[in-house]
Amino acid sequence: MKKPLLGEGNVGGTGENVELVTVPALGAEWSKNELYSQTRRAKQEARREKRGKMWREWNRDQRGCCGVGWMTKRMLVVVTFAFLAALGVTLYFVIPRAPNFSFPSDTVFLADESTVGFSRTPANFSFTGDIRMIADASNSWLPVHFNHLEITVLDMNTNKKIGTGNWKDKTIGRKGLHYLSLPVDFSYSAVNATDSTWSGMYNACGHRWTGTERPDLSFRVTLKMNIRGLVGKPTVSRLATDLECPFELPSNSV
């Protein structure tokens, strides 16, 4: 009679051979350290330790920054300095600069005689005119574009506002001197004709009577600049003295 082979057996006397499977023995249980290493707290500690190690190595110039091998601490300082230097040079050339303003040596004050109106009761005057100025853009490497150039004219003797204007959406070239005619609406109202501002303008622009001399005018012109690309609104004031009124009132005026 044939003996059954190792790993084979007869089930229920049926004569069928069944393969026996050997089950491996269970391994040893996990230690406490192994179990702790799988917790969230342990993983956070491991990440902190890894970051600390990377920081110490970078601080000692032993590794790069942000995965870039050559970006050591010393190289980062060099790159940052070079970037800031290049940025400073670039901004020096591309940032617009506010021009300097002055008055020309000839005509400063112009007026449209067709718009002149003077009244004694109530005391007022109004007309349109121009203030001529020189814009010096020598320090600007780019053309200067004015979104707005707000003009305010004060009577320097009384410090009263007598004119306003807005020179807007205009561009002057870079470098050099530029002659500008800034439009101004002159207007002033007072209680009566004894007002110093009204009488000063009336006398300076009155009829040229024989044997009399008309007094000069003195203005303080303030310019508030809104320049494209420039942060803030630079403001400058200039004094214009010894100005002759550009028109003459008729002999029968007011």
- Give tens-digit pLDDT for 40-71: 776 777 777 777 777 776 666 666 666 566 66
Q: What is the pTM of this model?
A: 0.66
Q: Does 116 or 51 have the greater pLDDT score?
A: 116
Q: Cα separation of 186 and 129, whole Å?
A: 7
End-to-end CA distance of the chain: 153
Average pLDDT rounded to a whole number, residues 216-242: 93
Q: Cα separation of 132 and 103, whole Å?
A: 7
| Structure letter (DSSP) for residue 3 | P
E strands in the chain: 100-102, 109-111, 117-119, 124-136, 144-155, 160-172, 177-189, 217-227, 235-243
Average pLDDT, the chain: 82
**Residue 10 scores a pLDDT above 60:** no
pLDDT digits (tens, 9 = 90+) for 138-157: 888 888 999 999 999 999 99
Q: Cα separation of 17 and 3, whole Å?
A: 12
Average pLDDT rounded to a whole number, residues 122-128: 94
| Phi, psi dihedrals of residue 198, rounded to the nearest 5° | -65, -50
List every span in the chain annotated with CATH 2.60.40.
Answer: 100-243
pLDDT digits (tens, 9 = 90+) for 183-204: 999 999 998 889 999 999 999 9
Three-state DSSP state, 80: helix
In CATH, the number for domain 100-243 is 2.60.40
Average pLDDT rounded to a whole number, residues 214-243: 93
Residue 57 has what pLDDT?
A: 67
Residue % of the chain over a pLDDT of 90: 47
Q: How confident is the model at residue 235 (pLDDT cuts 50, 70, 90)?
A: very high
User: C-alpha 141: how far from its chain's center?
Assistant: 17
